[in-house]
Structure formats: structure tokens, C-alpha cells
Amino acid sequence: MDFLRPETLAEALELKASRPDAVPIAGGTDVMVELNFDHRRPGALLDLTRVPELRQWSDGLRIGAAVPYARIIDELGTALPGLAMAARTVGSPQIRNRGTVGGNLGAASPAGDTHPVLLASDAVIEVASTRGPRMIPATEFYLGVKRNALEPDELIVAVHLAPAAGPQQFAKVGTRNAMVIAVCSFAISLFPGENRVGAAVGSAAPTPRRAHEAEAFLAAELDFATPKPLLDSVKREFGELVSRAASPIDDVRGSAAYREHALAVMARRTLGWAWQELLSRKNRGGEQSCA
Ligand SMILES: Cc1cc2nc3c(=O)[nH]c(=O)nc-3n(C[C@H](O)[C@H](O)[C@H](O)COP(=O)(O)OP(=O)(O)OC[C@H]3O[C@@H](n4cnc5c(N)ncnc54)[C@H](O)[C@@H]3O)c2cc1C
């Protein structure tokens, strides 16, 4: 097996163009598991850990694909609370030191923890090849179970996300509290200035997906200008609509019926927490921006 070690993004893209069979490796927390279990034996690995462009983030926010979770938590927790919450639930400290959002996107597992947040927060994925860059909205990135919109000669370069415009929440159900792949997960982002809500489910369909009907229902119900405590009926209906957005299966981690139930509960609770945060900010006379 060849081990390719580019030092720049340009070099990495050249190598990927000449060796489309080369499997990119960032943190290696998915790739090494596959190699160790002999699930795949690629002709080449393309090591991205020395490419500085992939390990930086800049205001705006443009987060390099190889920025590890631990740095997202430490450095971006205020600007991107939803992504930081999801990052905190990934694996263990060791996995969070190595694992990256780019790797989560590359693996495109329906259970990947960052996906619901990226969908609910209108993320755009920047990919590139020697043919040039492409910007792919997260809603168009996930094509099927472990399939994404990358062409064979492309690499994920960065994730673009606006700093949170309002409260964000992420919740995940697993068989225990840590080191666990999601049975199902849910993310919500409030956009008070636009009277808008983003909501997305994970591990409850062949791909992570947005809950469009639930988003539209809440946008019509919520009064962002003069927020009042939420009616239970609104939270309940939101939960039901989120659960209806999913099309889960029975598998070793949980039944379809359990996933639908858990999604409704997570949606209700996270909406309650996010709305409470908005009310508290209003009461403090604070700004709605998290930035
Ligand atoms: C013990 C353990 C616990 C885990 N717990 C969780 C968890 O709780 N939640 C969760 O979501 N995941 C979990 N994972 C899976 C994994 O840690 C995450 O998916 C992580 O985000 C992968 O990032 P990475 O940088 O290590 O990816 P890698 O293993 O390096 O790569 C993963 C995939 O993405 C591709 N890839 C990587 N970077 C790029 C790029 N820039 N361009 C194109 N393709 C690229 C690779 O070719 C590969 O197909 C766990 C894994 C382990 C081993």
C-alpha cells in the first residue's frame, strides 16, 4: 500500500487527481478501524495531516476539514454552540483529539454526530479538485448510506457555517452516555432575526435529513419579536412532526418505533431549552447573537 504525504493542499489535490483510488486519511478514527478489520485494502492512503490549509479555521466561519473535534470544542464553542455540543458527544477524548468534521463528512454515516447540526445550521461544504472548488449545501451532500457527493478526484476542504444567530441545541440517544454511536440524534438552530428554525435528524433514515414540516410549523408558531413561554401543545406537535420526518429501521442499536419516540422527545426537550435560552437573553436585555 502506498502512503502519500502531501505538504500543501495543491499537492494533495494533484495526488488525488493522479490516484483517485487513494483513500484520504485525516484523524484515521474511521479509516484505521476499516483497515484493521480488513474491510478495505486501498492501493494508497493519502495522509492529510500535514496539509496546513485543512487544519485552520477563520472568521466567517470557514473550518478546515482536518480541524479536530477537541479544537472545535475549545476554540469555537461560543460561535458554534450546536457543533461544539455534537463534538463533545463524539467518542472519547482520544477520538476527539484525532477525529475531524471532514472525516465525519467523508464517512457519511447516517449516525455521524455532526450531520444534524450542519443541516440545521445551513452549513455549506467546500470541496476541491485540480478542476477547481465546489460549494455544496449540506442538504445536497448526503446521498445515501455512507455515500456523499464527492467525486473521486475531490477532497473536502472546509465547512462554512455562520456564527450562531440564536440558541442552538443538539441531543443524542445512545445505549450509554459516552463512547457510543447514536441510536438517533437531533439538532435545532433558532434564527431569531429571520423568524426561522433549522431542525434535522440523524441516525433515523438512510441519510441525515432536515425536518422541513417541523421547521415550517415552528416558524409560524414562534413569536421571536416578543417571545413568551411555549405552549406544551406547540412542543408536542413539533416533536411529532420531527419524528414523522424520519424513516428509521430496526437494527442492533434500536427499533424504528423507539427511534421515532426518542426523536419526538429530543425535539420537544431541545426546543424547550433553546426557547428558554432565548427568553433569558431577552429578559437580560441581551443581544440575540451568540457571536
Ligand atoms: C472508538 C470510536 C468512537 C467513535 N465515536 C463516534 C461518535 O460518537 N460519533 C461519531 O459521529 N463518530 C464516531 N466515531 C467515528 C469517527 O471518529 C468520526 O466519524 C470522525 O469524525 C472521523 O474523523 P477522522 O478525521 O478520524 O476520519 P478518517 O478516519 O481519517 O476518515 C473518515 C472518512 O472520511 C474520508 N476523509 C477524511 N478526510 C477527508 C477529506 N478532507 N476529504 C475527503 N475525504 C476525507 C476518509 O477517506 C474516510 O473515508 C468513532 C470512532 C471510534 C473508533
Strand partners, 129: 132
Q: Do 161 and 114 touch, CB atoms closer than 8 A?
A: no
Domain boundaries, the chain: 2-43+54-160, 168-290
Asked whether the domain spanning 168-290 has the same topology as the one spanning 2-43+54-160, the reply is no
Facing residues of 64 across strands?
158
Mean pLDDT of the chain: 96
DSSP per-residue string spanning 230-256: PPHHHHHHHHHHHHHH-----BTTB-H
Adjacent-strand bridge partners of 23:
45
pTM given for the model: 0.96
Q: Whose CA is nearest to atom 53 of ligand 1?
A: 29
CA of 105 from ligand 1 middle (Å) equals: 8
- Distance, in Å, from the CA atom of 15 to the CA atom of 154, rounded to the nearest integer, reads 10
Residue 288 has pLDDT above 80, yes or no: no
Whole-number Å distance between alpha carbons of 113 and 148: 16
State how far the Cα of 262 lies from the Cα of 51, in Å rounded to an integer. 40
pLDDT of residue 274: 98
* pLDDT at site 177: 81
CA distance 261 to 244: 10
- At residue 39 the predicted structure's pLDDT band, cuts being 50, 70 and 90, is very high
Share of the chain above pLDDT 90, in %: 94
- Tell me which residues have their CB closer than 6 angstroms to ligand 1: 23-31, 33, 48, 65, 89-91, 95, 98-100, 102-104, 106-107, 112-113, 155-156, 179, 181
Give the model's pLDDT for residue 290.
41
Distance 98 CA to ligand 1 centre (A): 9
CA distance 83 to 132: 28
* Residue given cell 426523536 in the structure block: 263
Under CATH, to which class is 168-290 assigned? alpha beta
**Among candidate residues 253, 245, 238, the one with its CA nearest the CA of residue 181:** 253
Percentage helix, strand, coil for the chain under 3-state DSSP, each rounded to 5: 40, 20, 40
Q: Give pLDDT tens digits for 51-65.
A: 999 999 999 899 999
pLDDT tens-digit series, residues 15-26: 999 999 999 999
Residue range 65-86: mean pLDDT, rounded:
98
Sequence-distant (≥ 6) Cβ neighbours of residue 226 within 8 angstroms: none
Q: Is the pLDDT of residue 206 over 90?
A: yes
Q: Tell me how far the alpha carbon of residue 29 lies from the centroid of ligand 1, in angstroms.
A: 5
CA distance 157 to 207: 21
pLDDT tens figures, 88-115? 999 999 999 999 999 999 999 999 999 9
Q: Domain 2-43+54-160: which topology?
A: 3.30.465
